[in-house]
Amino acid sequence: MLPIAGGVPASGQSDGANAPAERVGDGRGGIRLAKVGNFAQPVHVNGPPGAGKVVFVVEKAGRVRVVRNGEELGRSFLDIRGKVSDDGERGLLSIAFPNYRKSRVFYVFYTDNRGDLRVVKYKRKGLKAVPKSAQSVIRVGHRQASNHNGGQIAFGPDGFLYISTGDGGGAGDPENDAQDKSSLLGKILRIDPTAKGRPYRVPKSNPYAGKRRKGAGEIFARGLRNPFRFSFSGARIAIGDVGQERREEVDIERVKRAKGANFGWNVYEGSLRYRSGRISKHTKPVFEYSHDRGCSITGGYISHDRSVRALRGRYVYADFCAGQLRSFQPGRNRGRRDRSTGLKVSNPSSFGVDAKRRLYVASINGGVWRIAPKGGGN
């Protein structure tokens, strides 16, 4: 799910306009929210390793802003608003840097003016993108609906680029894209965008690499409804998948085990049966919650910020409608000790992490905060 202007959540299920106002905390419990700044519908925050004191904030309409040493720069890092469709859940949705200092390239995920999902490579010069350097990496057709786009790109521990795509939209995945091994929708994709002479290559270790009759080579995992946000923690991948009517789920697996995994949608919604049908080797979520507690999960990160002891080793997440920031302890097969942080953000759209492994949370209403320890400055 991606939160939308006008208070309509990405799932199209509930109205988030009544989400609670921010509760930044007073340090009780050891954590609080430290304000970073105000932006125009921020949907992603990224401070890549090697970037020092620089954090990039992605705005849904098509701009990327820069915060350096805690201060927002007056100019945009990237402005592609003319190329981006941002109606409904669409927009410029994430940014990834493979090697910030050495490569001087970055990648963005956005929905183009036809509604298709695009990953595009750019070069940068200092803290400014070079617009003319744009090179299309991959395009996935997505014109049937403006929702369920997925939206995350990130480089994994293996150096490959991972891409999340939604099921194409429509209640219940009417085209069965999430289970269709020939479709790139409802998946986690994995590619190598550094191939010479072509936009990307398919890693030989992908489940269907070289086996087009069995499935598309780009597919890494399938059976996802709208994995708007995922993240890595060492050798693990953590996916927040937005549910349909009853369940929101988190899937956490070692990357090696996640390869070829089927997370169940649209036969299962979380661990619950959604429709009739049979799937082999269903990978069940490690954590799920009902819509009594919210409407759409905003997937986050396993915290490795040593300064925030209360969250170390815990998966931090939120719900777009409920606003409450929560965390649980990832176990081998299930999450344990789920609890509230005591902090709330109205319509949380995304989490992020910086070079110091500090966590951030963004509200579609404009605010970006760092999850900070008790006391200290911003």
Spatial separation of the C-alpha atoms in residues 199 and 195, rounded to whole Å: 7
CA angle 22, 26, 30 (to 5 degrees): 110
**Which among 183, 163, 186, 182 is positioned nearest to 173, based on CA atoms?**
186
Task: Please tell me the predicted confidence (pLDDT) of residue 3.
Answer: 44
- Listed as ranges, residues in the chain with pLDDT below 50 are 3-19
pLDDT at 105: 96
**In angstroms, what CA-CA distances link 199 with 118, 191, 207, 218?**
12, 10, 20, 13
Strands (DSSP E) contained in 182-334 are 187-191, 219-222, 229-233, 236-241, 247-254, 268-269, 272-273, 287-290, 297-302, 315-319, 324-330
CB atoms near residue 71 (< 10 Å): 11
pLDDT in tens, 279-318: 988 999 999 999 999 999 999 999 999 999 999 999 999 9
pLDDT at res. 4: 46
Residue 15 CA to residue 161 CA, distance in Å, equals 34
Instruction: Say what the pLDDT of residue 18 is.
Output: 45
For strands 187-191 and 247-254, give the pairing.
Answer: unpaired
What pTM does this model have? 0.93
Confidence (pLDDT) at 17:
41
CB 147 within 8 A of CB 166: yes
Q: Could you give all domains of the chain from N- to C-terminal order, each with its CATH number?
A: 5-373 (2.120.10.30)
Residues 222 and 140: their CA atoms lie apart, in Å, by: 15
